[in-house]
Each structure stands twice: as C-alpha cells, then as structure tokens.
Structure 1
C-alpha cells in the first residue's frame, strides 16, 4: 500500500516536469515530508474538451490542481469514505464499483519524491516471544533520483449538503493505484505504488482513452532495480512530525535497520 509519502516540488517545477498547460494551484506548494490521507495534494490531470450551457467550446488542457487524497465515489453519501480509499489495487480497479468509472476516464499522476512503507519485523521472528514488534518505516524512491510519478485516479464529488446555487459545490479527490512490489522491495512490503514511466504519461492522462483493455495494457509494474529503499526513524509514524530529517537513512546491520533503543518506544497511533 501507500499511506504516506514525501512531496517537496514547487508548482513551477511540476508544471515544467509534467508539461502542464493550466496551473490551477493558487497558493504556494510548501514541502511536505509526511503527506497523509485526506490532505490536499498536487495532482496532474487532463480535462476533455467540453461545451458550456451557453454553447461555448472549452478546449481540454493538462492541469495542475490540488486534490483531497482519498477518493470519494460520485455515489458516496459522505466525504468521509475517502479516508478508506487512499489506495486502489491496480489489478481490480477496472471492475470495483468505487473505482471503475475513474479507471476508465479519470486518471491522473500523483507526483512525489518517494513514499514510506512499514516493514513487519514480526515476520522474521524479531523481538521477544509474545511481545509486540514495532514496524520499521522505510523510504522508497527512484534509484536514478528522478521524481516518483504515481498512477492515480480522481473523482469529482458533489456535496449534497450544499445548496444547488452554491458557487463551488464539488470536492475533487484522488487515490493512488498500487501493484505487487518488485522482488528487491518485497522484504519491506508486498505492495508498492504503481508508477507511470515518462513515455506513458500522455496515454495515462488521455481522457479520450476509455477502453478498459487498453487502459489495463498501460499498467506495467516497475522493474527490479528501478527503486532504492532505506530505513528511517519511527518519528515519521506521527503526522505531527514533518521535515527533511524524516528522510535521513538509518544505518543497516545484517540487512535490517540498526534502530536506537529509544526509538522502539515511539507510538504508532497515527499509522
């Protein structure tokens, strides 16, 4: 899964990197090294051509927006359901009621520096029998230092509590698609975000591409060796902690993080 990530790029950098035509981010994007569900996150998407009620033709454009992380389907009664839909399995998104419409025509890119994943140390017998073994967070990023471009879906949900004449009754939300982890990351977790390589960005964003089989053909898990990972301090467990120090690598001994003793007592209530 992907429940936390880091995002430090400015809107200007994202406009250049993703060839954005329309920048709809109205306030500066501040670096966020502990992005959590339900927060507003920068997303690249493409809107189709449309005709207004007055008959005016509005051409489509590639946009940079901020969306609430946690997809809210159009049929949802309350925005709170999005907190449970920050991820969608790429293997089943085309058929799941919550995601299939977005998978067909509302795909997006979710830029990041990298993402956090929590390793379950109890699987290898670590710790004392019967004692709870704290999970070890890792930071995963592209090995070549390039941006991490996560495949996403977005929805536009109308808040039924707002009056029909409300000037902005819609909530834009998104989710990150996940896939099976590459063999070299499987020791951390068996899932990882689905990434979109540079040569597939245009096709992934194309709102005119609605054939499900053709969209499924775009889903290509990252290859082994394309990502690198290192353990980080458990301070990332709390969303109250934020800063580039969260990315600092811990030393590794015998293939595992050499965690200072005091780190073991940190709470995981925010995970």
Structure 2
C-alpha cells in the first residue's frame, strides 16, 4: 500500500519535471502527506496538462457518503480494470500524483519501523493515480487514489505492496486525453519497469500525520 509520502521539491522543479506551463496555485511542500489531505496531481484536460489539488481518498461519483474516501486511498492495479469503483476511471480519469519519496512501515521484533523510500536517480516522480468528481446537492469534491501492485524484490523485505511509480517516459502516456478501455489501461501498467529504490529508517515521529517538518525525514542514527 501507500499511506504516506513527501513532496519537498520547489515549484520550479515540479514545473520542469512535468512540462507544466502554468504556475501551481497555492503550492505548499510537505514532509508528511496523509490520507484525507489535498494532494498535488496532474491531469490532461484534452488541451494541456494541468496541476491542481485533489483530496486523497477516492469518493466515486455514485457514492452516497463521502466518508468512503478514507477506505479508498489505494486501488489494486491487478483488479482496478474490473472493479465498479475504478473501472470507468481507468478508462478516462487517470492522473499523476506528484511525490519525491514515500514512507512504508517494516515489521520488526521491536514494532513497526518507518522507512523513507526514494528514487536515487530522480528528484521528483509520479505515482499512477485515478481521480473522480463527487457532487451532492451544493457540495463538489475532487478526489484521487494511488494505484498499487505487488512489491518488487527491493520492497518485499519491507512490505508486500508498493505504489506504482511511473517512469519519466511513461508519465504523459498515462494521462493522455484519449479514452482507453479499462483493459488497455491495465495492459499499460503491466509494461511499467521499476526504477531503482533506496530506503533508510526514520523516527516514529512520522507516524503522527500532524507532524509535518524536517524531523520526519531525519535518518535514525
């Protein structure tokens, strides 16, 4: 799964990495992005790529209660093209969720040890995501979820699942405006090859979502 991550890059880095032309409104970096928060995502509206904020935790358009979002922070890529909550989104509402590291908790004899996981060759990257628009009476919410897959060899010792991190040359293809079938989107995800990862232990201070400062990423001595 993916339940916490960071985005510490400055705005210019993000604009350059993703080929964005317009500034990001109200951009704020974060050491500890958590479910339920607004997260920076990128979509293609058919004319251009746009960056903006979506609430992390998918609320499908047909949902009766927005609280369902807290149960839908991740979507399994192996079945998303078949599940009612995600099937249509795989076809036409794909997004990039920007990050520069993520946290995962490794089970140890002393309890769960948080680790910060990075791509040594890339400062900023994107998770493959899905988004939707939920409307009820006068309330409108745009939300998202992160697609996950079975852990690769590096991650297996830490956790059995991991987020799908898109290679740089696959990012635009994931959000291209042309509609695909859910099966085509699924097939595309099967072509993704993992970039190298590194990890180091951080303090359990990061466990509390309210903590959002440099202490979250300090290596444990």
Offset at 1:222?
4.2
Task: Determine helix, strand or coil for the equivalent of 2:171.
Answer: helix
TM-score (normalised: structure 1): 0.76
Distance 2:208 2:62 in 1: 32
Distance 2:132 2:22 in 1: 19
Poorly superposed stretches of 4+, deviation over 6 Å:
none
Offset at 1:236?
0.4
Offset at 1:106?
0.5
Q: Give per-residue Cα distances to partners, 1:66-103, cap 9 Å, x unaligned.
A: 11011110101121111111100111111111111111
Q: Give per-residue Cα distances to partners, 1:22-74, cap 9 Å, x unaligned.
A: 55x432x22211101011111011113xxxxxxxxxxx221001110111101
Q: Determine the structure 2 residue equivalent to 1:8.
A: 8
Number of equivalenced pairs = 220
Distance 2:67 2:13 in 1: 31
Offset at 1:207?
2.4
Task: Determine helix, strand or coil for the equivalent of 1:186.
Answer: helix
Q: Determine the structure 1 residue equivalent to 2:182.
A: 212
The answer to whether the 8 Å contact 2:167/2:192 transfers is no
Q: Give per-residue Cα distances to partners, 1:90-125, cap 9 Å, x unaligned.
A: 11111111111111111011111110001122xxxx
Out of 97-106 and 206-215, give the one that drifted further: 206-215
User: 5+ residue gaps in structure 1?
Assistant: 49-59, 127-132, 163-168, 252-271
The answer to whether the 8 Å contact 2:90/2:181 transfers is no
Distance 1:149 1:161 in 2: 33
Q: Determine the structure 2 residue equivalent to 1:33.
A: 31
Q: Which has the higher contact order (CA 8 A, sep 6+)?
A: 2
Distance 1:35 1:72 in 2: 18
Alignment equivalent of 1:45, drawn from 38, 43, 46: 43
Q: Determine the structure 2 residue equivalent to 1:138.
A: 115
The answer to whether the 8 Å contact 2:148/2:162 transfers is yes
The answer to whether the 8 Å contact 2:115/2:201 transfers is yes
Q: Determine the structure 2 residue equivalent to 1:261.
A: none
Q: Determine the structure 2 residue equivalent to 1:262.
A: none
Distance 2:78 2:137 in 1: 34
**Are 2:44 and 1:63 aligned?**
no
Distance 1:226 1:154 in 2: 27
Structure number with bigger Rg: 1
Distance 1:81 1:93 in 2: 17
